Amino acid sequence: MSQLQNEPTTVWKDVTLLTMTEGYGLIRDGAIAAKDGKIVWLGYAQDLPEAYADAEIISGGGHYLTPGLIDCHTHLVYGGSRVTEFEKRLSSMSYEDIAREGGGILSTVRATRNTDEDMLYLSAENRLAHLQRNGVTTVEIKSGYGLDLDNELKMLRVARKLGRKPDIDVVTSFLGAHAVPPEFEGDSNGFMDYLSGEILDAVMRENLADAVDAFCENIAFNTDQIEILFTKARERGLPVKLHAEQLSNSGGTILAAEYQALSADHLECLDEEGVKYMAAAGMVAVLLPGAFYTLRDDRIPPIELFRKHAVPMAVASDSNPGSSPVLSLTLMVNMASTLFRLTPEEALAGVTRNAAQALGLHDRGILEVGRKADFALWDISHPAELAYHVGGNPCVAIVKNGVPF
Ligand code: DI6
Ligand code: FE
């Protein structure tokens, strides 16, 4: 027998499975078998084939087992802190006012430029650990606080390095078009040329990005500018996605649809026309209730229209130092339900099946033979409990590529 055929199989028993293939896909008294990092069997424990008699058996302790959670939108790598800005916002300054006076994203740009790669790694690793303890096995991380060649590459290298840890997969997005840095003040077109030329070239050379993202907003970039970047991204075969319609309806979503974007994210100000474009382009709507909550927004994304036009909804943390200092994805499942009125089932699909689609990953997000053996185990007694608790952490273990952590 070859080495490969001798690789041990592991079977989790005494679990309630939520396969998330359709609805919750609940299987009580279930079992799931993994080999070589992939799911090889799942179903009712009583139907477990004889062939698995010699497998290593792990008791799931009666817990629920879901696909490992996927956080499909984060800005986890950054220097410094924005806690003083948080205090300012409490005394009536708005996020946009703070951005206009050089705070906001630009203050994190200064701090990130002044932080070396090792320190950036350690602080991001610490934030990531919170997400992981809460069930996350795949995370997307964006650049966008460097805004020059060296510092954008530095951020993306840190994200790639985090992805070499055995218990997490990291998908990276180049978000150079996040803000205009001081050295290009008043010349956002010049900055866009630099971004979509020299910086994107270097990012591609080092294979540092899995997608290209941008911030389309009246305090950031307009659709004409983003089109330049998206054209370059497409020439190089990189998928695109967009921060769109968060603070105003700026037409970003329609542009993103024209470039077959994976997702448009935020979307509080999106109208039905934009939703139709998303549906036609097969895009995912990424909902970010942490930013909505932190900025005390009063417009919720058009959830009914996403349902009506069958646009899949993902839910993510948007973890960042300004608008969404979030460290728990199950808290986002709660907020997606409470604030955006998603059903708990929709919210859970938002951090599993639909989050995988938002990242263009077809090998995870549901429990099915052939998919990655990435699981989270939960001390709950009803699936909706994953949306019900506000804070706390019912995650008891994660499994990555078939290996328990
Ligand atoms: N939208 C966001 O929610 C973050 N960036 C973006 O384009 C905010 C980032 C920050 O405030 O630092
Ligand atoms: Fe964001």
Q: How far is the CA of 315 from the centre of ligand 2 (A)?
A: 12
Mean pLDDT, residues 211-238? 96
Q: How far is the CA of 59 from the centre of ligand 1 (A)?
A: 42
Residue 6 banded pLDDT, cuts 50, 70, 90: low
Residues whose CB falls within 8 Å of the CB of residue 376, separated by 6 or more in sequence, listed in order: 65, 66, 67, 68, 69, 135, 136, 137, 395, 397, 398, 399
**Residue to probe by mutation, ligand 1, list 217, 320, 326, most atoms within 8 Å of CB:** 320
**Which residue, judged by its Cα, is nearest atom 6 of ligand 1?**
215
Ligand 1 atom nearest residue 288's Cα: 3
Mean pLDDT, residues 135-144? 98
Span 367-383, pLDDT tens digits: 999 999 999 999 999 99
pLDDT of residue 226: 98
Residue 3 banded pLDDT, cuts 50, 70, 90: very low
Q: What rounded mean pLDDT belongs to the chain?
A: 96
Span 107-135, pLDDT tens digits: 999 999 999 999 999 999 999 999 999 99
**Residue to probe by mutation, ligand 1, list 71, 73, 74, 75, most atoms within 8 Å of CB:** 75
Residue 93 banded pLDDT, cuts 50, 70, 90: confident
Determine how many CB atoms are found less than 10 A away from the CB of residue 235: 10
Mean pLDDT, residues 196-220? 96
- Per-residue pLDDT for 2 more than 80? no
Q: Going from the N-terminus, what domains does the chain have, and what CATH number goes with each?
A: 10-67+365-404 (2.30.40.10), 69-358 (3.20.20.140)
pLDDT of residue 5: 53
CA distance 367 to 371: 7
Mean pLDDT, residues 58-83? 98
**Which ligand is closest in space to the CA of residue 291?**
1
Percent of the chain topping pLDDT 90: 92
**Residue to probe by mutation, ligand 1, list 71, 243, 247, 288, most atoms within 8 Å of CB:** 243
Percent of the chain topping pLDDT 70: 99
pLDDT of residue 95: 74
pLDDT of residue 4: 45
Q: How far is the CA of 83 from the centre of ligand 2 (A)?
A: 18
Pairing of strands 10-18, 26-35: antiparallel
Span 14-30, pLDDT tens digits: 999 999 999 999 999 99
CA distance 81 to 89: 14
Ligand 1 atom nearest residue 105's Cα: 12
Ligand 1 atom nearest residue 95's Cα: 11
- Per-residue pLDDT for 53 more than 90? no
pLDDT of residue 150: 98
Ligand 1 atom nearest residue 217's Cα: 7
What pTM did the predictor assign? Answer: 0.97
**Which residues have any ligand 1 atom within 6 Å of their CB?**
75, 104-105, 108, 178, 215, 243, 291, 318, 320-324
pLDDT of residue 142: 98
pLDDT of residue 342: 98
